[in-house]
Homo-oligomer: A and B are copies of this chain.
Amino acid sequence: MKSSRFAVASHVLVVLAEHDETPVPSADIARSVNTNPAFVRQLSVPLRKAGLVQSVLGPGGGMMLARPASEITLAAVYDAVEEEPLLATHHCEPGRACFVGRNILEALDPVLEGVEGAVRAELSKHSVSSLLRAVQRLDKKR
C-alpha cells in the first residue's frame, strides 16, 4: 500500500488556507477528507513539527496555518510528511563476493540523489495558495 500522506496533507492545508486566520477543528477537516478526526490530528503532528500549522486548544479551537499559504511550497509539505526516499535500495546487503555487489549501492547513490532533487525542485514550483486557486478554478467550471 503506497502512502497517500502527501496528497492528504495537501488537502488539509488547502482547507486551512480557505479558512484563513480562523482555526478549523479536526472534525470539520475530516469531513472534507472523508476520514477520521483522529487521523487528521495524527497527520498534523509532522506538519506542526515542520512549522506549517499550529493548533488552538479549547472551544473554538482547531488547526490553522502557521504562515501564509503562499509561503508554503508543496516541497515543504512533502518534506514534512514523507520522510523516506521514494526509490528504495536493496533490503538485504548485496553479495560482496561479486564486484558489482560491492559497488552497486554506492554507484546508485548519486542517481537516487538526483531523483530526489528533481522531485523537490518540481514540487517547489507549487504552493498551498496556488493549489487552492486551482481548486477554486476547477469548482467554478462545474
Contacts and interface: CB of A to CB of B under 8 A. Distances in A.
A34 B79 CA distance: 32
Contact of A7 (B3, B93, B108, B110): B108
Q: How large is the interface on A (under 10, 10 to 19, 20 to 34, 35 or more residues)?
A: 35 or more
Contact of A32 (B32, B34, B98, B135): B98
What is the oligomeric copy number? 2
A72 to B, nearest CB: 14
Given A118-B121, A119-B115, A119-B118, A14 B100 contact: yes
Interface string A98-142: 111111111110110011011101110110000100111011001
B35 A88 contact: no
Given A2-B85, A118-B122, 9 more contacts: A8-B90, A11-B101, A34-B90, A34-B95, A107-B134, A111-B126, A114-B122, A115-B119, A115-B123
Interface string A1-45: 111101110110011001000000000000111110000000000
A95 B31 contact: yes
